[in-house]
Structure 1
Amino acid sequence: MSTSQPDASRSSGDRCTPDHVLHARTGTDVSPEDVVLAAGRDITPRNLEWARRKLETEGPAALDKLLP
């Protein structure tokens, strides 16, 4: 029986992605819908209002805080 070795197929330059590259925003405005979806919630009037308040207090960084 053969065993797979996933590390053997990786090149020596294959590394984890650095944190400074892992950003969801592309410089565009963050909408309340973006925040609701990033939080894993359904788009409802109540959740949109929550997202609006979150954006008012935290700014666009509110989205970054929700995403891994």
Structure 2
Amino acid sequence: MHETGNPDHPGEPLIRTGAEQPWDPEDLAVAQGRYPTPENVARAKAELERDGAAAIERTVP
């Protein structure tokens, strides 16, 4: 679903992605299909620290 009113480009739809909201490492681990074990949470935390929004976009576009 697209929203109207893109403030940067009037007349174009506003497109939102999964990365536009805050993500915890636990959420990313679960979104990747992994149980939120300490190891998987640590892996997700490292991905978020290293890649930022790209880590989320790979999983939840």
TM-score bin, normalised by smaller chain: 0.5 to 0.7
RMSD of equivalent CA atoms = 2.2
Percent identity between the aligned chains?
32
How far has the Cα of 1:21 moved from its partner? 4.1
Matched residue count: 50
Match of 1:58 in 2: 51
Divergent runs of 4+, >3 A = none
Q: Partner of 1:43 in structure 2?
A: 36
Structure richer in strand, relative to its length:
2
Structure 1 gap segments, 5+ residues each? 1-16
Higher Cα radius of gyration = 1
TM-score by length of 1: 0.57
In the aligned structure 2, how far is the partner of 1:42 from the partner of 1:64? 19
Under a length normalisation based on structure 2, what TM-score does the superposition of the two structures give? 0.63
